[in-house]
Structure 1
Amino acid sequence: MASDGPANQGPESPRVDGDASTGRDVFRNETFGNEGFWTDAVRLPAGMVAAGVTPMQVLALGVQIDLDAIDAATQTMLMEQLRADPSGRTSALLNDPKTTVALVNANAVIGMPIKDSNRDGRMDAGKGDKVGASCALCHTVTDGAAFTHPAGGSIGRRRDGLANHKLDMGAIFAVAANSRALYPVLQLSLTANKGKTLGRAPTGLTETSTEADVDAYLSNKQFYPVGSFDDTFDGNGDTMHNTPLFRQDLAAPYGSEGMIVKLDNFSNLVYTSLFDQTMLTTKGGRALLHTLGGAAGDEIADDYVKILKATNVKGYPYVKASKHPKPGSEDAFLGVRVDNTKLLDLNAYLVSLAAPQGAQVDAGKAARGRETFSSAGCTGCHNVDQSRRVPSFVLPMARIFPGDAPVTLAPRMPPLNPVLNTADSTFDDKMAVVNASVRGEVRGNAMPLLLDLERKPVFLHDDSVNSLDDLLDSKRGATAPHPFYLAGRQRSDVIEFLKGLDTDGR
């Protein structure tokens, strides 16, 4: 009998939502002070100016530009230049580094909000104002109304919540004048691990690695694929492909490893660690690193302090957050929490963002694909109806990756499982240190949204599969990650069904 989804959908996590209209500003512009990290520690704006980065070069890295934030006169001039040359190659504006600075000052570079740090009422990064990072950097694209670069960057009106699959985060970081300040989220070689390294690169970085060494790692697409971001401060090179942030009421638990149950707690961890990694040198940050990695976690914190001193980084940490009564809990992994009202407002906005319409597909093929999706066992993990929340269980690694044969790299105190790794696979690297055992769950994968799949260029969180056709092809083998296969017309039909999925019941 065909099934519409797993019989046990898992527990639904309660969520409190604030004001969605205020949440939009949080999503687009809120930094909670992290502009200090990106401007004074990583020195991304300084690196861009020193390199003479043009808007065309920014767009080539997948960065999105908000047309509505550009003043009317500049818009008119830009459109005239693009009408004369739609490729943008001869556009004076798009090939002038001064335009990049002007776009930053206009808050037109999406996800890089500028703040009036010197409080003179004007936005000017050249006169002391600082540039931070917001959720929109990875989770907004534009409609390309004015221009779309072949590499994926575009100029147009914001489409919040969509994953930016073309964002070259590694190359963006490499432009910074002090990429060494990103040490906790690089692939490292630690003394506590006897110099061994885990990740895509054959060797790891150390506290003595030069800026050139770090930039070479970040710029290497084999080590840091386009469309991905290393979001775990564990010293592993475990970049994860960018995910959407629309309809987050359907998406719990959060993180591909399912470590966090509540949406606002997920956002708080992002703001208090990833958007300002110097927070990891605080008492709460060190406690979390020690819990996750023991001596290796302690070493990361100690080495990071040395790097910050060597590169003359001062005044950290930068993010403004309050002490929390339950340090180390999911509510405050680092013992602090940013403005809770704004976190709840962000909840409301992320819930309100509609999922895109499914692709236009052959109705007959999609209908057959729907039947196959149910009868072939796909509904053991996934729902047919994408207007339902995804099943909230974490799928054990042995189920999602039969070839998982991990060795123990380090013991850990329960409920955390030991640090485990399967050699010659990038799929389990993300779950080696940071995984759902933090909350007593299994090491494995949380269920993804099966939405906006037509735009998705790669599959599985580690970018290891290049298409839906490859994902469902038995040539990948019985022990590969996600080894659930279909042949011939059945595979073609299911792909048609998946590409047409949306939350309107199609």
Structure 2
Amino acid sequence: MKITRSAAFIASAFAGGLLAALSLSGAANNGKQGATLSQIDEGRDIFRFDTFGDEAFWGDTLQLHKAIAGEKNGGVGPGVSPRTALAVGLKVDADALPADLQQQLNSGKVDLDDPATTVALLKLNAVVGVKGIFDSNGNLKSMGVQCALCHSTVDDSLAPGIGRRLDGWAARDLDIGKIISLAPNLRPYTDLLGVDEATLKKVLASWGPGRFDAILDKDGKAFRPDGKPGATLIPPAFGLAGVNLHTWTGFGSVPYWNAYVAVTEMHGRGTFFDARLADAAQYPIAARSGSSDVRNTPDQVTSKLPALHAYQLSLPAPKPPQGSFDEAAAARGKIVFDGRGQCASCHVAPLFTEPGNNLHAPAEIGIDSFQADRSPTHMYRTSPLAGLWTHQKPGFYHDGRFATLRDVVEHYNTQRKLALTDQEKADLVEYLKSI
């Protein structure tokens, strides 16, 4: 994994540097080009470091920072050590670490079992997607979360879970449910959902790594009819340029979802409006809580949405590293993808989704409608496939129901009566890994 991510990072950095060089060259003749670069840089900082004021929820209300610090560091309980933090999928930005600390990590001289080390990393702003807020005496007094928590990882270049940021990558080993369950005060969730703490923790535990339920606080549907969790896989935030609808069910556009998540899921202090969520039949909890129309003063979200969107659109899907797939088989697989496999009829290159209203009824896809019916669209979006190799765990489709790409191919082969040969199926898998 270290080699794979490092190679991807170098390729992305080269592409980004080339883009920047070309853009700066054009800026001399076109002021708008320079403004675009400035907006992308601003968006990167928002994506990586802005909490939108959500520390009022995660720290001041849930008191999650106290559980992280532990009793010995002014908090409560045993605390969260770096080893535990890494085990639940949190990442450390190596570029935020002083050189001497990097050397100490390499030589095993840093105590990864002490929550005080976690607090020190927060003070360095080195925990990806998490911001520690400290008082004048250096004590952790609150915390907030950022977009990067779920939509970034690292290249493991220093150690597993410690490396350079890979923005836009889905955090598929991040156990959000387990992290939330550590909070000393879960009443905001239990009161909203109308359940006791034990029930809430059962729901959070059901998610597992790489999953989050962004609709639970709107419709209260924690589990599917078959008893499996209603949470969905965290999607990547790269390769979105030219893509219309976002999320597994096309709930809205990319900037719509940015506002939705920033205000109603991260609990940032901003404005969000969607009259569809006032439908008490489909969204009883949202209708009761008023999350269809949220207003905060001052608004710490809305003015940041354009730059955030610009940065997301600047993130290309990373190319797979050489040697990670069979090139000859992938070349044959492309022929299947474009021809007998009928994949390209929906996954149109280079977007690898349909331009326009990229939605399909559950029956077309051959799966149940549970997740689709939680969306105002009642449909599923054609997911963009570029960069698919970066997020193959824990499975495919919105809920990870297919463990492997071969399972996905087998499903469509049956659903669409394609009659592909074993060789064609194997070649198609290699092509999907190559996109």
Whether TM-score is above 0.5 comes out as: yes
Q: Per the alignment, do residues 38 and 318 of structure 1 end up closer, same or farther by CA in structure 2, a change over 3 Å counting?
A: farther
Please tell me the residue identity of whatever aligns with 1:56: R
* Equivalent residue, structure 2, for 1:198: none
Q: Deviations over 1:283-319 (max 9, x none)?
A: x7897643254682367539x9xxxxxxxxxxxx996
Q: Structure 1 CA distance, aligned partners of 2:376 and 2:191?
A: 17
* Equivalent residue, structure 2, for 1:430: 371
The alpha-carbon deviation at position 253 of structure 1 amounts to 0.8
Q: In 2, are the aligned partners of 1:66 and 1:109 still within 8 Å (CA)? A: yes
Q: In 2, are the aligned partners of 1:93 and 1:99 still within 8 Å (CA)? A: yes
* Equivalent residue, structure 1, for 2:115: 97
Please tell me the residue identity of whatever aligns with 1:345: A
1:291 aligns with 2:313: no
Alignment of 1:438-449 (within 5 A): 443-449=378-384
Q: Structure 1 or 2: larger helix share? A: 2
The alpha-carbon deviation at position 403 of structure 1 amounts to 5.3
Which of 253, 263, 266 is residue 275 of structure 1 equivalent to?
Answer: 266
Q: In 2, are the aligned partners of 1:33 and 1:319 still within 8 Å (CA)? A: no
The alpha-carbon deviation at position 402 of structure 1 amounts to 3.5
Q: Structure 2 CA distance, aligned partners of 1:486 and 1:180?
A: 53
The alpha-carbon deviation at position 395 of structure 1 amounts to 2.9
Q: Structure 2 CA distance, aligned partners of 1:225 and 1:61?
A: 10
Which of 310, 314, 324 is residue 348 of structure 1 equivalent to?
Answer: 310
Q: In 2, are the aligned partners of 1:292 and 1:434 still within 8 Å (CA)? A: no
Question: Structure 1: which 5+ runs fail to align?
Answer: 1-15, 82-90, 149-153, 189-205, 305-316, 323-336, 405-427, 437-442, 502-506
TM-score, structure 2 normalization: 0.77
1:452 aligns with 2:387: yes
1:35 aligns with 2:55: yes
Which of 335, 339, 363 is residue 375 of structure 1 equivalent to?
Answer: 339
Per the alignment, in what secondary structure is the counterpart of residue 113 of structure 1?
A: strand
The alpha-carbon deviation at position 476 of structure 1 amounts to 9.4
Per the alignment, in what secondary structure is the counterpart of residue 250 of structure 2?
A: coil
1:20 aligns with 2:40: yes
* Equivalent residue, structure 1, for 2:403: 466
Higher relative contact order (CA 8 A, sep 6+): 1
Q: Per the alignment, do residues 362 and 286 of structure 1 end up closer, same or farther by CA in structure 2, a change over 3 Å counting?
A: closer
Which of 136, 147, 154 is residue 142 of structure 1 equivalent to?
Answer: 154
Alignment of 1:49-448 (within 5 A): 49=70, 50-81=77-108, 92-115=110-133, 120=136, 124-126=138-140, 128=141, 130-148=142-160, 154-183=161-190, 206-207=194-195, 209-210=196-197, 212-219=198-205, 223-232=206-215, 233=217, 234-237=219-222, 238-261=230-253, 263-276=254-267, 289-291=277-279, 293=281, 296-297=284-285, 301=289, 322=299, 338-340=301-303, 342-360=304-322, 361-376=325-340, 377-383=342-348, 385-386=349-350, 390-402=354-366, 404=368, 428-436=369-377, 443-448=378-383
Q: Per the alignment, do residues 484 and 293 of structure 1 end up closer, same or farther by CA in structure 2, a change over 3 Å counting?
A: farther
Q: In 2, are the aligned partners of 1:228 and 1:242 still within 8 Å (CA)? A: yes
Q: Per the alignment, do residues 465 and 41 of structure 1 end up closer, same or farther by CA in structure 2, a change over 3 Å counting?
A: same
Q: Deviations over 1:340-381 (max 9, x none)?
A: 2x2111111111122211243322211111111111211221
Q: Per the alignment, do residues 147 and 434 of structure 1 end up closer, same or farther by CA in structure 2, a change over 3 Å counting?
A: same
Q: In 2, are the aligned partners of 1:64 and 1:110 still within 8 Å (CA)? A: yes
Q: In 2, are the aligned partners of 1:32 and 1:319 still within 8 Å (CA)? A: no
Q: Structure 1 CA distance, aligned partners of 2:191 and 2:358?
A: 26
1:46 aligns with 2:66: yes
* Equivalent residue, structure 1, for 2:227: none
Q: Structure 1 CA distance, aligned partners of 2:124 and 2:417?
A: 48
The alpha-carbon deviation at position 451 of structure 1 amounts to 1.9
Please tell me the residue identity of whatever aligns with 1:450: L
Q: In 1, are the aligned partners of 2:373 and 2:379 still within 8 Å (CA)? A: no
* Equivalent residue, structure 1, for 2:20: none
Question: Structure 2: which 5+ runs fail to align?
Answer: 1-34, 71-76, 223-229
Point out the more displaced range, 52-61 or 349-358.
349-358
Q: Deviations over 1:422-479 (max 9, x none)?
A: xxxxxx332223232xxxxxx211121212222312100111110101111259964x
Per the alignment, in what secondary structure is the counterpart of residue 141 of structure 1?
A: strand
The alpha-carbon deviation at position 391 of structure 1 amounts to 2.9
Q: Structure 1 CA distance, aligned partners of 2:274 and 2:257?
A: 19
The alpha-carbon deviation at position 387 of structure 1 amounts to 5.3
Q: Structure 1 CA distance, aligned partners of 2:115 and 2:90?
A: 15
* Equivalent residue, structure 2, for 1:500: 434
Q: In 2, are the aligned partners of 1:235 and 1:300 still within 8 Å (CA)? A: no
Q: In 2, are the aligned partners of 1:184 and 1:235 still within 8 Å (CA)? A: no
Q: Per the alignment, do residues 390 and 474 of structure 1 end up closer, same or farther by CA in structure 2, a change over 3 Å counting?
A: closer
Please tell me the residue identity of whatever aligns with 1:171: K
The alpha-carbon deviation at position 182 of structure 1 amounts to 3.2
* Equivalent residue, structure 2, for 1:415: none
Q: Deviations over 1:90-143 (max 9, x none)?
A: x65211111011112221110012346x5x5x8x453x3x21111100111111
Q: Structure 2 CA distance, aligned partners of 1:299 and 1:21?
A: 37
Q: Deviations over 1:172-226 (max 9, x none)?
A: 11112123423599xx5xxxxxxxxxxxxxxxxx34x02x43223312xxx2131
Q: Structure 2 CA distance, aligned partners of 1:395 and 1:496?
A: 26
Q: Structure 1 CA distance, aligned partners of 2:347 and 2:412?
A: 23
Q: Structure 2 CA distance, aligned partners of 1:352 and 1:104?
A: 28
Please tell me the residue identity of whatever aligns with 1:146: L
The alpha-carbon deviation at position 166 of structure 1 amounts to 0.9
Please tell me the residue identity of whatever aligns with 2:371: K
Point out the more displaced range, 287-296 or 448-457.
287-296
Per the alignment, in what secondary structure is the counterpart of residue 491 of structure 1?
A: helix
Q: In 2, are the aligned partners of 1:276 and 1:319 still within 8 Å (CA)? A: no
The alpha-carbon deviation at position 54 of structure 1 amounts to 0.7
Aligned residues: 377
Q: Per the alignment, do residues 298 and 52 of structure 1 end up closer, same or farther by CA in structure 2, a change over 3 Å counting?
A: closer
